[in-house]
Structure 1
Amino acid sequence: MIVGIDLGTTHSLVGMYGDEGPVLFPNALGDYLTPSVVSVDDDGHVIVGQAARDRMVSHPGASVATFKRWMGTPRETRLGTRNFRPEELSALILRSLIADAEAATGQKVTEAVISVPAYFSDAQRKATRAAGELAGIRVERLINEPTAAALAYGLQEKHDGARFLVFDLGGGTFDVSVLEMFDGVVEVHASAGDNFLGGEDFLDVLETAFCAEQQLAVDDLSPQERGQLRRRLELAKRELGAGSEARVEWKRGEQVFDWRIDEERFARLSENLVQRMRTPLERAMRDARLQPTQLDEIVLVGGASRMPLVARLVSRMFGRLPLRHVNPDQAIALGACVAAGLKARDTRLDEVILTDVCPYTLGTKVSRWDENGKEQQGFFAPIIHRNSTVPVSREQVFQPVRDHQTKLTLEVYQGENPMVERNIKLGELDIPLPPKRSVADNAMNVRFTYDINGVLQVEAVLIATQQRYELVLEQNPGVLAPAEIRARLQALENIKIHPRNKQENVAIMARAERLYEEYVVARTQLQQWIAHFRAILESQDDQLIREHRRQFGEAMDALEASV
């Protein structure tokens, strides 16, 4: 079975294309959204999802979130007795989603289409594929999140020549794509974005403002206190998405803080973030060579797009109201399900060809000469420009710097800066040159070929001798090599993970521990409830456990409502 997965920064979802179209699967708690959070308990068991999110408050040192932002880097996080790379943490989320899909369908999941931000680099895309491999599934297709959102809205069914812009603001990333539909092809004209801009950054704005007004230093807060505060502020951010004002009540020790903020002030505080959103929007429109009036539709997706300031920004820039009738939290996952159906050649779907673009410019390092004839080194020479439709192949002629040069090192870079030192080096190719030749005699054709799977082939041919040299860049610095993937897959197999049928019990105990951390006045009552539920668990009577779990949950609902 092939599934569609939205592997998000803050939440993830899974589904498939079924008889009634795209359908999402609930997790063990009955929710479609699974928090992208991983935690390890005192016994070394891995906890994923809502229970892990609650443990971010009660056990911040044993829990981690927003690790999608670290994909493509070698960063490691210590949880329990071992270190986890971002790919491994993502694999644990994927495993949980796969278990939910298999529980819902009774079929084994073997393959997935996973959505990624349109502005994900080559290294980040390879890391996402590695996460799928570590989770035990095949990931032959990654789909850009804005393209997935377009499929969710059925924009592929629009008239030929229809152009639309998808604005995707999630928990941790922001990207925008301009797409066009013609002859059964959904073509991406341009993509732009910011991999470090999302709902979490707007939460940072609220945290900074709260602490400044309450004369608190963020660094002075313990991890538990900061977790409690950010949870209150997250609720306030959601209130501001639905109303004009929000109130934050938070207790630290014996001190009670009461803070109010309205939507207008929140928008002013967030002005720098709003300006950061404008830049990718303008870049995508420039690269697509379109004016706002030439767009047929504008679509908002991603949970953070619910903020009124987002709709205002889009309305001002494009002179119209955007579409938001598909649940913004689910749009990308639903589109990934459609893409999974297309990948499986589901006969209920009309054939749609999805094109992609190269998100970053690819080129090499060159020297240039100033007006005085002095050599200036370290310049970036683009060969494949960003937003070129893939697969793409481009060729340029280069020469050595000096006569009688015996070797040339062709360095490959990715980025948008004119100087290579500010771009990302992907690799290099050493080319021996015939000695005692002039610069012109040692000229060479350099061809870059970038395919839909993110593989870059670099080919250099000496024009005089037709001698050919080749470099295939399938790996990037910070990306796991195949041998290391196999070793880490074996290590993950040995990790103890709570069975899916026990996750409801784990989640409710994690919630109780979080409330114990947050509400000092209710600690005695919570301890009694926890002790009672532990005794019920020891009975191993499933019916009794279900009934007391329901009562426990209702009691905690009432507690939170009253406090």
Structure 2
Amino acid sequence: MTGTGGHAIGIDFGTSTSLVAEKFGGLPVEIASLGRSTRSFPSLAGYRGEALLVGEDADGLPIGQVVRSVKRAITDDLDVLAVSSASGTREVSADDVIIAVLSEIGSRAAAAGQPLPSGGDVRLGCPAMWTGPQRRRLLDLAAKADLPVDGSTLVDEPIAAGVAWVTHRYLAYGEHPTGRLLVFDMGGGTLDIAVLDIEGGSRPEISVLASLGTAMAGDSLDQAIAADLAAGLAERGVDVAALPVPPELVAAHLLRAAREAKVRLSQAPSHSVVLPRTLGELPVLVYSREQLEEAFRPQMDVAEQLVWAALRAALLTVRGSGSPDELRRRGAAELVKDINYVLLAGGMSRIPYVERRIGALFPHAQVFDNAGVAPDEAIVAGLADTGGYERLNLHRPGFDFVLEWQEHGLVQQHTVYPAYTPFYEPWEVLSGRSHLGFEWRAREADLPWRGVGVLRVQSMSGERLELMFNGQQMDGLSLRMGRDMMVKLYCNGQVLVQDGTGQAYHLRVDSWPVIRGRDHARLVLSSLDSQAPVALVPWYHNKEYAPPAFQVQ
């Protein structure tokens, strides 16, 4: 069974808090105590003059000097962040702040007795919606923070939560879950949804059918509650714009009050909001759970639409499930009937309204908010799983397709498909497109139109992956260069490769390579045509007497 051997460490760099967990074989996962009074460590930073403080020290700074939700800088592709200083607002490097938080995670893990070993099986989570460049940015910053992770151990957060649930059901109850699991992971910065197909048994195989996300989660709800609080003050005769402090500080205090109300209302029906005296003599506002749910309603409406998009996307990966047009016509009852289990993960799933809304969508599924740990600890528990990634099939390539050719005696490269690029945007599932997939055309790139090139696959760090083509080990596909070159990747595993002469080759991959710690699994392709592209065999072309693999004509 998964989780019965080995040693692994998981790092959950969260928008609001961060966690580290460790697991030995079939023993229960151990979550390090990173915080001063909690297991989680606040993902906060702030500046006192030129000094950069992190964690609880940052939380004690004046509110305008605190940088919250710094992980969103990667989601939103921001290079600089604004903070207050004695001379006014100034911009600071987002990367510097992220490195400081990541470094603190490593330092606190070591102090808690769980150091991050170099060369060990250390996994880092990231939102499902992140693109290849965003993932590379996180990995680059993690390297500067001395965290021993790389592209082969970077895992989508909802997938990690699903792995944690599968392992927990076996270790705690001796169950072998079989069927389809939907993971609804709402944290502070993103909402991620994954659909996993689980084949039970002594060594379960988990296939990722879909993994979608949006940058609308806990931070968005905080903004909505803060707007309610501002409106409540206005009803009591308080003009927020006329308060004797800068508007950005008023907004920061309202957001802090909103975050506290959100947490309190997960347990209580109402909460008294007392704003600091630095804003003036302000009335106490009573904010109810009903008000929170009304503020949350539009966001949950969007979340439901993402659930339907994820379910349709999952069906696209299953051969014979129908065309995109057919899937768009399927109603809610048809979409949910194949879901056996639902897992609620992330801190936002503690809000009762989330469970009511999502649970109502799946009347015939078992709904869980427990993967053996608290909902906001499910991701880090899954990242630390010692065996759950041995038989995990991904839904899209976690590696680059690159085209190589020689020009003036030098090898040139062009990336045809960047690792983890979504095959389509979630909204396209509901659009009128008849085909959904990734498409690259040579005529849109600056390439030579003569000669021969080689289509290869390589990891995010530049290492070549092993390929098997029609049962033969190979180094790449040899293709004639030209304007008509094209590569298409489809959700159901079909691959179309067209060379410069217009000759098309239809290929199929049963599953994209699984995550195997630091070892890159091989990509296995088969031809659907009688005529197949030419494979380059490494043992022959690596010999000193071998002719050139290709020549520019």
TM range, normalised to the smaller chain?
0.5 to 0.7
SS in 2 for 1:188: strand
How far apart, CA to CA, are the structure 1 residues paired with 2:104 and 2:401?
Answer: 39
Q: Indicate conservation of the 8 Å contact 2:233/2:240, yes or no.
A: no
Aligned-pair CA distance for 1:274? 1.1
Q: What are the within-5 Å matches in structure 2 for residues 165-314 of structure 1?
A: 165-182=182-199, 184-194=204-214, 196-215=215-234, 222=246, 223-252=248-277, 253-289=279-315, 291-314=335-358
Q: Indicate conservation of the 8 Å contact 1:15/1:24, yes or no.
A: yes
Q: Which runs of 5+ in 1 are unaligned?
A: 343-349, 359-388, 396-409, 435-440, 451-456, 467-563
Aligned-pair CA distance for 1:163? 1.3
SS in 2 for 1:175: strand
Q: What are the within-5 Å matches in structure 2 for residues 11-50 of structure 1?
A: 11-18=17-24, 20-27=27-34, 29-42=36-49, 44-50=50-56
Q: What are the within-5 Å matches in structure 2 for residues 525-544 of structure 1?
A: none
TM-score calculated relative to the size of structure 1:
0.62
Cα RMSD of the aligned pairs, angstroms, is 4.0
How far apart, CA to CA, are the structure 2 residues paired with 1:85 and 1:207?
Answer: 27
SS in 1 for 2:180: strand
- The aligned amino acid for 2:205 is V
- The aligned amino acid for 2:378 is A
Aligned-pair CA distance for 1:331? 1.1
Which residue is equivalent to 2:161? Answer: 149
Of residues 116-125 and 80-89 in structure 1, the stretch that sits farther from structure 2 once superposed is: 80-89
Q: What are the within-5 Å matches in structure 2 for residues 427-506 of structure 1?
A: 429-433=445-449, 444-447=484-487, 461-463=499-501
SS in 1 for 2:266: helix
* Cα distance, 1:124–1:307 mapped onto 2, change above 3 Å: same
How far apart, CA to CA, are the structure 2 residues paired with 1:238 and 1:225?
Answer: 20
Aligned-pair CA distance for 1:449? 7.4
Among candidates 358, 363, 369, match of residue 324 of structure 1: 369
SS in 2 for 1:314: helix
Name whichever structure is richer in helix by fraction.
Answer: 1
How far apart, CA to CA, are the structure 1 residues paired with 2:275 and 2:177?
Answer: 54
Which residue is equivalent to 1:3? Answer: 9
For 1:382-436, what per-residue CA distance to the aligned partner results, in whole angstroms no more than 9, with x for missing partners?
Answer: xxxxxxx6679899xxxxxxxxxxxxxx9999653689xxx999996213447xx
* Cα distance, 1:25–1:210 mapped onto 2, change above 3 Å: same
Q: Indicate conservation of the 8 Å contact 1:159/1:181, yes or no.
A: no
How far apart, CA to CA, are the structure 2 residues paired with 1:234 and 1:51?
Answer: 19
SS in 2 for 1:294: coil
* Cα distance, 1:187–1:269 mapped onto 2, change above 3 Å: same
Which residue is equivalent to 2:381? Answer: 334
Which residue is equivalent to 1:509? Answer: none
SS in 1 for 2:96: helix
How far apart, CA to CA, are the structure 2 residues paired with 1:250 and 1:147?
Answer: 39
How far apart, CA to CA, are the structure 2 residues paired with 1:28 and 1:442?
Answer: 58
* Cα distance, 1:321–1:85 mapped onto 2, change above 3 Å: farther
Which residue is equivalent to 1:500? Answer: none
Which residue is equivalent to 1:352? Answer: 390
Among candidates 97, 102, 109, match of residue 105 of structure 2: 97
How far apart, CA to CA, are the structure 2 residues paired with 1:354 and 1:136?
Answer: 27
- The aligned amino acid for 1:331 is A
How far apart, CA to CA, are the structure 1 residues paired with 2:212 and 2:107?
Answer: 34
For 1:509-562, what per-residue CA distance to the aligned partner results, in whole angstroms no more than 9, with x for missing partners?
Answer: xxxxxxxxxxxxxxxxxxxxxxxxxxxxxxxxxxxxxxxxxxxxxxxxxxxxxx
SS in 1 for 2:301: helix
Q: Indicate conservation of the 8 Å contact 2:180/2:340, yes or no.
A: yes
Q: Which runs of 5+ in 2 are unaligned?
A: 1-6, 316-333, 404-415, 451-480, 505-553
How far apart, CA to CA, are the structure 2 residues paired with 1:177 and 1:465?
Answer: 37
Q: What are the within-5 Å matches in structure 2 for residues 363-382 of structure 1?
A: none
Of residues 238-247 and 272-281 in structure 1, the stretch that sits farther from structure 2 once superposed is: 238-247
Which residue is equivalent to 2:60? Answer: 54
How far apart, CA to CA, are the structure 2 residues paired with 1:69 and 1:219?
Answer: 27
Q: Indicate conservation of the 8 Å contact 2:22/2:31, yes or no.
A: yes
TM-score calculated relative to the size of structure 2:
0.63
For 1:479-500, what per-residue CA distance to the aligned partner results, in whole angstroms no more than 9, with x for missing partners?
Answer: xxxxxxxxxxxxxxxxxxxxxx
Q: Indicate conservation of the 8 Å contact 1:411/1:429, yes or no.
A: no
For 1:222-261, what per-residue CA distance to the aligned partner results, in whole angstroms no more than 9, with x for missing partners?
Answer: 3444333332222221222112222212245542222122
Q: What are the within-5 Å matches in structure 2 for residues 113-132 of structure 1?
A: 113-132=123-142
Q: Indicate conservation of the 8 Å contact 2:448/2:482, yes or no.
A: no
SS in 2 for 1:178: strand
SS in 2 for 1:190: strand
* Cα distance, 1:250–1:447 mapped onto 2, change above 3 Å: same
Aligned-pair CA distance for 1:283? 0.5
SS in 2 for 1:168: strand
* Cα distance, 1:83–1:261 mapped onto 2, change above 3 Å: closer
For 1:342-370, what per-residue CA distance to the aligned partner results, in whole angstroms no more than 9, with x for missing partners?
Answer: 4xxxxxxx773222223xxxxxxxxxxxx
Q: Indicate conservation of the 8 Å contact 1:166/1:176, yes or no.
A: yes
* Cα distance, 1:138–1:99 mapped onto 2, change above 3 Å: same
How far apart, CA to CA, are the structure 1 residues paired with 2:116 and 2:417?
Answer: 44
* Cα distance, 1:39–1:443 mapped onto 2, change above 3 Å: closer
Q: Indicate conservation of the 8 Å contact 1:311/1:321, yes or no.
A: no
Q: Indicate conservation of the 8 Å contact 2:35/2:41, yes or no.
A: no
For 1:71-107, what per-residue CA distance to the aligned partner results, in whole angstroms no more than 9, with x for missing partners?
Answer: 1625213668996544432222121111122123375
- The aligned amino acid for 1:243 is A
How far apart, CA to CA, are the structure 1 residues paired with 2:44 and 2:24?
Answer: 28
Aligned residues: 397
For 1:249-308, what per-residue CA distance to the aligned partner results, in whole angstroms no more than 9, with x for missing partners?
Answer: 224554222212222232222221111111110011112237323222111111111112
* Cα distance, 1:35–1:107 mapped onto 2, change above 3 Å: closer
How far apart, CA to CA, are the structure 2 residues paired with 1:264 and 1:67?
Answer: 30
SS in 2 for 1:90: helix
Q: Indicate conservation of the 8 Å contact 1:393/1:449, yes or no.
A: no
Aligned-pair CA distance for 1:166? 0.6
Aligned-pair CA distance for 1:27? 2.2
How far apart, CA to CA, are the structure 1 residues paired with 2:482 and 2:389?
Answer: 48
Matched, 1:77 2:77: no
SS in 2 for 1:257: coil
* Cα distance, 1:214–1:316 mapped onto 2, change above 3 Å: same
